[in-house]
Structures are given as structure tokens and as C-alpha cells.
Structure 1
């Protein structure tokens, strides 16, 4: 006799409910229950139940760090939910994918999926899942260094948790919020909140969540110099994370415990703990802990007088940090664009002008955020470059000097990236008054400023500027456009060509001015041309650059309400045509 579909459906839902509840203290049991639910669902050939079972399996595998498996299972669930038109099911599966991304190193994709989920959960008035998503979004904001947005997200998660009448959801947001308070010097507020979180976790018997709460209290004890208590909390947290298979949490604990031992002056214990953190993070793609561990290992080696090893760790830190700065900065921009789009869609009923104003406001906020970050980083980078200069005067060992040279190259590259970002954001804040533009003078001044470039003496400049052009604009923007065009022409010249040249013409067409630059340099294929204005995209990685120049050029032209077209052929050369309205 066939099993009753109603009875079987009820059994599946009962198994999944039990599996979800057990996730806080027995993930192995959760996985077994979800697999049993999946088996029954497949016997029934019930696509909805199969999808729900897969989604929970994906969630549990994400929690224990099987990220690739988790994503594949979730994608399979989404395909089924799309067939049965289950909007919430799709959101649940996407939430798991988001977790897998942001717990490794792809914050942008993580945030993109979370924004998608949040729209669905808000539409369905699902406060439980809203709280989960908002807490995760707060975590990503913290990765970006945007603590103000992180606080708003955590506070919103707490309110959603209250509406869902769920202490666990509230305490999940208490933990990171306590950390922000601690970083801002609000030690009592941080301790009060983390103690409340521990209390809630014990009341609800959320063992896995308790580990994160203990970790948070350990950080507070470290700041208050109650080192024995801090060590006890970190060790207990690690024990739980190991039992639960929580990889990110374990790496975080090792890093903080290593930092604790360093504060205590116990260098051997600090080194052993941080090496574990570094190896584990390398294995599991936990990039934030990777470069943080390298920096602390550098400090340890320096304290021991092992400067060659210190330089090695510092070099690894710089390489990782540079990667994070480049990737994260680009991803922050993409991610905030996603949020702006969500806000725009939510306000479709409003007038078009209101929507445009909102997007512009967010753009200004984002530019302000990047300006602050770039400006704040300039000081430390300048200090590092100064220290490098001093080190080269003092150090005699050839191996150490080689590391110092590598370090200098990376510091200069970071400095160039920051200069580019500052130039980019200044466009949004500078209110230069318009003035009459002398194109010929700007062009020759720009050419003269690049005499230091390797190919400069080999390039012929052919200048043709129509006289008496009546054109007013912000001088800095026109100068930025010409600088980037000329610099690229020199850098990408084909030096094996008998006569490498850059031809620059400026013409007056009555209502508009056109600027054309043509060269016989290395050129590009069409696929490359389509990407050249993307931030951090570099045409040729063997040629020094930051990948910001053409992005800045495009922003300047947009501010001038102009347009730019590019024609290029690989091995033949490139032509830029810029049209600027008067």
C-alpha cells in the first residue's frame, strides 16, 4: 500500500523542524534528520519537500564550512523552487549561498544574495528571516569598514528578532554590536551587551551561538587586561567550535588568542597559535584572518630580533592586504550599487525626481566613505615608506635588503592606488569654478610632466589644437582627462616601432568641442576595450599601473556631461574620441 502523501508530508516537515532546532547544539543530528527528510521527499516525488530538505542540508553544510557543497545543494534547491513558484523557498536557499560567500572572501556576491533575500522576507513579513539577513549584512558592512551602517543593520536585526519573539536572533546581533562598542572605547556597554548575549544563549541552549558570545567576552577581557579570563573564554569557545565544525569561528578564536599571548609577552604560545590560525585560514580561504595573522607573526619575529623572518611575514601581510584593498574596494562599490538599486525599487511609487535625488545622495555618501578611508590610509602608508627609507640606510644584509626592496615596491603601489582613489572622490567634492580653458597649454604641461616615464624620449607628440576655442569648464577635470590620455599613450607605446607617436587634436564644432588622441601603441582587442573603464582593470599587468586611470577619466568626462568612444586594434594602436558640450 502506498504511503499517505499527507502523512509523509507531515513527517518531512516534522523532521525538518527538528533538524533546524538541533542546529544550535548537534549539527550531525541535524544533517541526519535532513537527509532522512530528503529520502522521504524523493520517494514521494514532492518537489517542494525535496527543495526544503535540500535547503536545510545546504544550511548545515554551510555552517560547518563545506562551502562548495553547500552552494551546489542550494542551487539544486532553487531550481526546484522555481518550478513550483516558491518565492520563500528561493530566498531561503539564497540566504545559505550568501553565507557561504561572505564567510570566505566574496563579500560582494554574499551581499547581493542577502539583498535579494531581504526584499522577499520584507514582502512576506517574515521577521525571523529578516533578522538573520540583517545580522549577516551587518557583518559584511564591518568587513567593508562601514561601522555606522553595520550598527544600523544589527539594531534592525535586534528589532526583527523581538518581533519574531526569538532571543537567539536578538543575541546573534548582540555579539558583533558589542565588538563595535569595544572598538569605540565603550567598554562597559560592550561588556553589558555580551553578558546579556551569553545569558540568552544559555537560556535557549544555543551551544554554537554561545561559542561566539564567549569569544566576544574574551575580547572585552583582553582590553580590560583580565588575561586569564580572556584565555578561558577563547579556549572554551574554540572547544565548542571544534565540536560543532565551525571553521570561521575557530580561526577567529585562534587569531584573538594569539594576539592575547602577544600582549602577555608569551611569544612561543603566540607564535604556535597564530601559525595554526594562518595554516587553517589558508586551507579554508578565510582571507581576513590570513593577513591579520601574518601581521602579528611579523610583530613576534621583530620582538625576537629575527628581522629576516619579520620582513617575510610583513611581505606576506602586504601582499594579502593589497589584494584585500583592491578586491574589497571594487566589491564595496558594486555592493553599494546593489543596495542603491534595492532602495530605488522599493520607492518606485514615488516621483522620478525623488528617486534620482536618493540615488545621488547615496552616491555622495559612498564617495565620502571612500574619501575618508583613502585619506586615513595615506598617513600609515607614508609612515611605512619613511620607515623603509630608514631601514635601507641601516640594514646591510643582502637578503634583508631584497625583502626591503620588495616591500618598497608594494608600499609605492598601495600609495599610488590611494592617490587614485583620492583623485576619484575629490571629483565629487571639489566645487571648482569654471574658467576659460587653454587646451594647448594644458596639453604641453601634461606632456612635460611625464618626462620621467621610460618611453618618453622615444615618443613623437603631434599636437593640433584649433586656436581661439571658447570653452569654459573646471580646469582640474580637463587636466585629469589629458593627463590620463597622455600617460597611457606613453606607457603603452610600442618601442620596437620605428616612430612611436601620439597625435592629439582639439577641434571646435560650435556647440561642442572634440578631443581626439591617436597612437600606434600596443592596442587592444574588443573584449579588452569593453572593460577598460572598469575600476582596477589593467590592460597589461607587466606595465606598472593601478587600473584607476581610465576609470577616473570616465568619471571626469561624465561630470563634464561629455561622452567618450574608443577604437583599438591589437598591435596597431588606439584612438580615444571625447565630445564635450559647451
Structure 2
């Protein structure tokens, strides 16, 4: 009944009155006294999604109401809610002043739940205004309060906030340690509150530790945590984290798209802190791409925004990017100017007193941990006293045991002598078995080569009859008038075509296995463009967006036939398995780059995807990830086979709403002894057999 009353009084001001305080006060005066404050807070929350300013105006009335009544708990709740809104309005210093005021009230009156919330929010404000010593001190106090309450959910929040402070201090190992503690507490409590944001924080940390695969996996976990209900804030932060991962792993073109999505959301949410950070990162990305003018434009936009904010850490990062930009463009005067601004601000943020305070805070926390350890040790000592009596008895038994062991050792030495003789005998047998195994391996290689020959000849011999059968079907389709017969002939014709394609692919596999390498210089952009143009001509869907980031690699030499087999198989799949939903804008992105004398070719598409857990299954022969497959599951097997014959590798990655295949090849292909042995064996097997007279 009480819940129904609350719901009625919450909805009453929303649906019956315009958004003004006089109407609200009228409703409150006509509400039972024990529900009045809840009505005000509920109305304030209902306005938050529409207007933070209007919600803040209601919070002022909530504070006025609580102070008029003189209830310290209501004053604490009202000022906490107002501080939360001040942070949303980017007024961190005013929020800190409010929180300090109610901190003492909550502590004196033992409002531990409110005290935990106050400390957590206060610590976040300190963090974003670069007061890291106060942030760390406040977070550790919050952690202590929550541990006393044994509240795992709030412990998780405190550990997450501590990880954020260490992240801002660029101590990424310590940051990740506290993020993982936060995740462990959430798993124990079963809480999913802010689980998506925690995974994003971990992704940003992994990015700084150059663990990009782990970073992208954490972003996927974040989207999994919020499912279909991801807020704009979470999507904004996730797109930012994904952009950083792509930028740092030299995929700048794709990174820009994700940064732009995050930027649009930051402006929608009016989050100036995120807008400054994203603009700085976008500038860095465009600078990597060689677009100096765009980079400078973005940095200047961020600088204008910085003048109206209190976020020193974001400003510090902005000055650093300005200095990097001017140094990169050889404008050393401006580079020096922003370098001085960066150093001055850094010295004010990370001053000697702050570093000293940080050390004291960490020492106090370590001391608290040590006291807890000492308490545990005291309990251990009591247990050890009990154990000591058992040890004395153990010594007596040990003496008897030693005598028994000495006697047993004499027997063991005799047995060891016999065992040694047995080992020598078995070693000789193993040597013989090894020789037999090596002989069997050679025989197996020969049989494999014979099998390749059989596949080639069988597919070649079947091709002729299949062609004849297809021709007969075509004639029948023209001459036969019976509808049932025509349907049968059409199905035979389709099956014949599919079987013909499979035989062609088996022939390709045989050719790859037995071909002799022809190593020539390769113009990679030309090869890829030819394949893309061919696939566009035969593609069923013509409006697929193609993004090509192709870079010519001077000195790239390899086998052109094997290279084309590998690329055609992957690019053809990207076209063939496009997403034909009208709500999806299909695209294919192909990137070529050189890294440490390895040529990396990345093919990304947002097609129907591959629902497999084991990535190795994708490259198995006859594995079909979709019913659209027309080649019997041989395409990716051919790609992997051709890539490995070129001493390369092909990998498969699941991205958010996309799939990536990454082919890595040596810049200069060199024949190994294994290659020569395989060619000689294939020559022997593939040579024509002459019958004896």
C-alpha cells in the first residue's frame, strides 16, 4: 500500500502540473509528511533525463526543505543529490564543497551507507580535478568503511575508483590490479552495477599496456554486460576505448570512425571532459595519417573548450598533444611554448607536496593492511602452539621412521641396480622404435603426396563427365516440356554446378600442394584492386561500401599465384556473405601495411559473421559457417594452405559488429629445406608411371 502511495505522489507532479517549483510545493503540502521528501527527490530524478538545470533547481528546493525540517539525514541526502547534479553540470569545485559539508554530518551520525556514497563521489571529483593525493586518501577511506560494512558492491566501486586514480597517475599495473579486485568483488556479490564501465576502464588500461587483444575483449564484455540497454554514456566510453586500441595498433582509418561516434555522443551528453579528450586523440590520429591541418583544427577546438572547464588532467593531455603536433610539423617555437605550458601545469598537478602526500597515503594504507596481517598472524601463532605439541610427537615417530628408511634404502639400492639394467634395455628398444617411426613418417609423407596426386587426377577425371552431364541437362531443359521432368533436370543442373565448383577447389588444393614457387616482385595494390573489381562485377549486392587503404610495399617478393589464391578466398567471402538486411550499411575495409619486415593485409567486413567458438574450426577443410557456402567449405582452407606455403599466417578476429581476417607474410619469401624436400617428393609422385613391357 505504501509503495502505491509513493507512486501516486511521484506521478502527480509530473502529469498534473507544469515544471515549476510553485506547483511542486503545492503538491508537497498536500502530501503526507512522511512522503513529502521522497516526492521531491523522485520529481528531481524524473527531470534529470530532460534537463539537468531544471533537476538542479528542484534539488535546491530539496535542500531548503530538509534544512527547514532540521533532519540531518534528509540534509545529507539532499546535498548529495545536488552534488551529483553539479558534477553533471561540470561544476566539480562546487560539488566538492557540498560533499565536504555533509561528510562530517554523515560521519558524526554514523550514516555509513550515505558516508560510503559521499566518499566515492568526492573521490571521483578529486580525481577529475587532478587532486590525486586527496582522491587516493578519500578512496582508501571509502574502502575501509565498505569493508567494515562487508558490502561487496560498494567495495567493488571503491576498488574501481582507486584503479581510476592510478590510471590517471599512469601507474597502469597498479590500476589494473585494483580493477581486477573490483571485478572479483562484483562476481562474488553477483552485482552488475557499472559492470560495463568497469570493463571499459580495464580496456583503457590494457591499451596503455599494449595488450590490444585483451582491450578489445574487455570492450566486448562491456557491451555484453549492458546488452540491448547500453546507455549513451557507456557507448561513448566504449567507442573511445575501441578507438584508442585501433589507433595504438596502427589501424588509424578505422579508429577515426570510432572516435567520431564517441565525439558525437559527448556533445549530445554535453560532457566537455570527454569532448576534450576525444578531440586530442582525434588530432593525434589525423597527425599519424599525415593530415596536419585537420589535427591542428581539432586541437584548437579542444583548447577553446578547455577555457570553460576545471579538468586539469584533460588540459594537461591537450598541451602535450599541441607540443607533439608542433614538433612533428617542425614549428619548434610553438612546440617549446606548449611544452612549457605542459611542464608548468604538470608541476602544479604533480607537485612535490602531492607526491609526498601520495606516498603518505599509500604508506598509511599499507600500514592498515599490515595490521590486518599481524592480526591474522596472532591467530596463526595460537594455532602453531597447538601444532608444536604435535611436532614433538612427530620427531619421535620420525626417528623410528628413519631407522625403517635406512633399512629400506639397502633394499632400494639393490632394486635400483636391477632397474638401471631394465632402463638400458628399454632405451635400446626405444631407439629401434624411433628409427621405425622416422621410416613411417617418411612413408606417411609419401602417402600424403600420393593422396594429393589422387585428388588432382580424380577431380580432373570427374570434370569431363560432369561437363557432359551439365550439357545434357541444358539440352533437356530446352527440349523437355513435362514440368516435373524440367524440375528434376534443373535440380540435377544445379547439383552438377555445385559439384563442379567443389572439384575446381579440390584441384586448386592439389595445385597449391604440388606447385613449385615462382618468386617475383609484387605490386600489392594492383593485385588487390583486380580481385575487388572482379568480385564487384559478380556480386549479388552492388551497394557494398569499399574502403581501400592500400600501401605499395617496395621490395615485396613472393609467389603471385599462391598470394592470389589466399586473397581471392578471403575477399570473395567478404562479398559473398554480406549482410543483406536493409538496416545495415554493408562495407568492406582492406588495409595494407608493413611492420617489422612483415606485410600485414587486413580484410574487415560487417557481413553475417561466423558463429564459431573455436577459431581453428574456421580454417578446417569442408567446414561451412553458413548455408550460403557454394564450395563445400574449402575457401578458407585454401587461404590458410596458400598462406602457410608462403611462410605466412592467417588469423581470424571477432570485432564489435564486424569480422576481421589478417594475413601476415614475409616481405621477402625465402625457400627453406622443407620446401625443397616437399618439391622433390611431389616431382617423384607426380611423374608419369611407365608400364613394364
Q: Distance in 1 between matches of 2:78 and 2:350?
A: 39
- Cα distance, 1:309–1:194 mapped onto 2, change above 3 Å: same
Q: Are residues 1:254 and 2:279 paired?
A: yes
Q: Are residues 1:11 and 2:54 paired?
A: no
Q: Are residues 1:218 and 2:243 paired?
A: yes
Match of 2:160 among 124, 129, 135: 135
- Cα distance, 1:283–1:8 mapped onto 2, change above 3 Å: closer
Q: Distance in 1 between matches of 2:102 and 2:350?
A: 34
Q: Answer whether contact 1:298 1:313 (CA < 8 A) is retained.
A: yes
Residue 105 of structure 1 aligns to a residue in which SS? coil
Match of 1:343 among 369, 387, 391: 369
- Give 1:111 deviation, angstroms: 0.9
Q: Answer whether contact 1:24 1:205 (CA < 8 A) is retained.
A: no
Map of 2:545 onto structure 1: none
Residue 167 of structure 1 aligns to a residue in which SS? coil
- Give 1:242 deviation, angstroms: 3.0
Q: Distance in 2 between matches of 1:319 and 1:6?
A: 54
- Cα distance, 1:242–1:156 mapped onto 2, change above 3 Å: same
Map of 2:660 onto structure 1: none
Q: Answer whether contact 2:90 2:310 (CA < 8 A) is retained.
A: no
Map of 1:412 onto structure 2: none
- Give 1:262 deviation, angstroms: 1.0
Rg larger in 1 or in 2?
A: 2
- Give 1:63 deviation, angstroms: 3.8
Q: Distance in 2 between matches of 1:207 and 1:127?
A: 27
- Give 1:179 deviation, angstroms: 2.0
Structure 1: gaps of 5 or more residues: 355-582
Q: Answer whether contact 2:207 2:215 (CA < 8 A) is retained.
A: yes
Q: Are residues 1:332 and 2:378 paired?
A: no
Q: Deviations over 1:34-83 (max 9, x none)?
A: 45544554454432122112112212322442111101221232343345
Match of 1:146 among 141, 157, 171: 171
Match of 2:92 among 67, 85, 88: 67
Structure 2: gaps of 5 or more residues: 1-28, 381-693
Q: Deviations over 1:194-222 (max 9, x none)?
A: 12213434533422232111110111221
Q: Deviations over 1:510-555 (max 9, x none)?
A: xxxxxxxxxxxxxxxxxxxxxxxxxxxxxxxxxxxxxxxxxxxxxx
Q: Answer whether contact 1:70 1:96 (CA < 8 A) is retained.
A: no
Q: Are residues 1:237 and 2:259 paired?
A: no
Q: Are residues 1:110 and 2:135 paired?
A: yes
Q: Distance in 2 between matches of 1:314 and 1:72?
A: 33
Q: Answer whether contact 2:40 2:58 (CA < 8 A) is retained.
A: no
Match of 2:203 among 166, 178, 199: 178
Q: Are residues 1:271 and 2:299 paired?
A: no
Aligned residue pairs: how many? 352
Give the TM-score, by structure 1 length: 0.54
Q: Distance in 1 between matches of 2:79 and 2:95?
A: 9
Matches within 5 A, 1:516-535: none
Give the TM-score, by structure 2 length: 0.46
Q: Deviations over 1:144-164 (max 9, x none)?
A: 332222112111222333345
Q: Answer whether contact 2:131 2:349 (CA < 8 A) is retained.
A: no
- Give 1:297 deviation, angstroms: 2.1
Matches within 5 A, 1:539-550: none
Q: Distance in 2 between matches of 1:269 and 1:326?
A: 34
Q: Distance in 1 between matches of 2:30 and 2:69?
A: 10
- Cα distance, 1:9–1:104 mapped onto 2, change above 3 Å: closer
Match of 2:332 among 292, 307, 314: 307
Q: Deviations over 1:440-498 (max 9, x none)?
A: xxxxxxxxxxxxxxxxxxxxxxxxxxxxxxxxxxxxxxxxxxxxxxxxxxxxxxxxxxx
Map of 2:125 onto structure 1: 100
Q: Answer whether contact 1:299 1:310 (CA < 8 A) is retained.
A: yes
Residue 182 of structure 1 aligns to a residue in which SS? helix
Map of 1:159 onto structure 2: 184
- Give 1:303 deviation, angstroms: 3.6
Q: Deviations over 1:159-210 (max 9, x none)?
A: 3333454434222111121122223332222112112213434533422232
Matches within 5 A, 1:384-423: none
Q: Answer whether contact 2:156 2:186 (CA < 8 A) is retained.
A: yes
- Higher mean Cα deviation, 74-83 or 57-66? 74-83
Q: Distance in 1 between matches of 2:228 and 2:56?
A: 24
Map of 1:227 onto structure 2: 252
- Give 1:280 deviation, angstroms: 3.7
- Give 1:132 deviation, angstroms: 2.0
- Give 1:101 deviation, angstroms: 1.1
Q: Answer whether contact 1:95 1:113 (CA < 8 A) is retained.
A: yes
Q: Answer whether contact 1:167 1:204 (CA < 8 A) is retained.
A: no
- Cα distance, 1:12–1:151 mapped onto 2, change above 3 Å: same
Higher relative contact order (CA 8 A, sep 6+): 1
Map of 2:411 onto structure 1: none
